[in-house]
Amino acid sequence: MTHDRRVLVHADKAALITSVATRFLSKITDTLHDQGHANVVLTGGSVATSVLEAINASPDRDSLNWSKIDIWWGDERWVPRGHADRNEVQARAALLDHIDIPAANIHAFPASDEGLDIDAAADRYAAELKALAGPDSPVPQFDVTFLGVGPDGHIASLFPHLQGIRENDLTVIAVLNSPKPPAERLSLTRWVLNSSERIWLVVSGTDKASALGLALAGASRDEVPVAGIRGRHYTDFFVDGEAAAEVPENLIAQPN
């Protein structure tokens, strides 16, 4: 059963980043102890990258057995391999290139210069997900899924009023008309994101306050896609004071 969504407000962006990084290391330590393996879904954006940098800088970084962790992405820009705009490139620079994790455990989306069209790339990532899934699921059990939130309320590459947010069958879609450049992207679908044990939305800045407030006040998923995001057991919004400006007060929890 899905628990209620929680909003944990931090004093500022720096405190937010430190808190999420510390919580991640603690939670994945517990997950590895309990089940021996973890699947983590990463997102892009400056705040998410800063969290990965904070994980990298932590003295507890190497206490994790990274060989038991598989890394996935919620979405990716359809640009060439190694392009600075790829979420994968940013994550590698921030953390993945600095830890002892097998290359096979890093599941990057295909790139635009690898001989596939974008639809075939979506199919390939769907097949990779399926290959590491349990017998009754098309995707692995995601233990922690990071998401950011755009000023328009988009999550991953699922944007307001576009078909992607309404997709209920496919696990991975090609996005051809993103209102935010580049126009072509790959994305996990909403129901796949919602299959995650824990979804952690990390949100900073005044430009996110309206979308966050609307989502938590009951806006529709088509209008504000983040409103349609709920993990299987936990859905936590880690926000700074600026992003929390329009959050209903009764939803705000105290960080611990």
Q: What is the mean pLDDT of residues 160-186?
A: 96
Structure pTM? 0.95
Site of tokens 């393996």 = 37
| Number of CB atoms found within 10 A of residue 228's CB | 21
For residue 156, count other CB atoms closer than 10 A to its CB: 31
DSSP 156: T
The pLDDT of residue 243 is 94
pLDDT digits (tens, 9 = 90+) for 41-63: 999 999 999 999 999 999 999 99
For the residues 54-80, what does the mean pLDDT come to?
98
**Structural domains in the chain, sorted by start:** 20-148+157-189 (3.40.50.1360)
Which residues are within 8 A (CB) of 92 and not within 5 positions of it... i.e. 6 or more apart? none
Q: Name, in order, each residue with C-beta under 8 angstroms of 43's C-beta and a sequence gap of 6 or more.
A: 73, 74, 75, 87, 146, 147, 148, 156
- Say whether pLDDT at 2 is over 70: no
pLDDT tens for residues 93-122?
999 999 999 999 999 999 999 999 999 999
227 SS3 class: helix
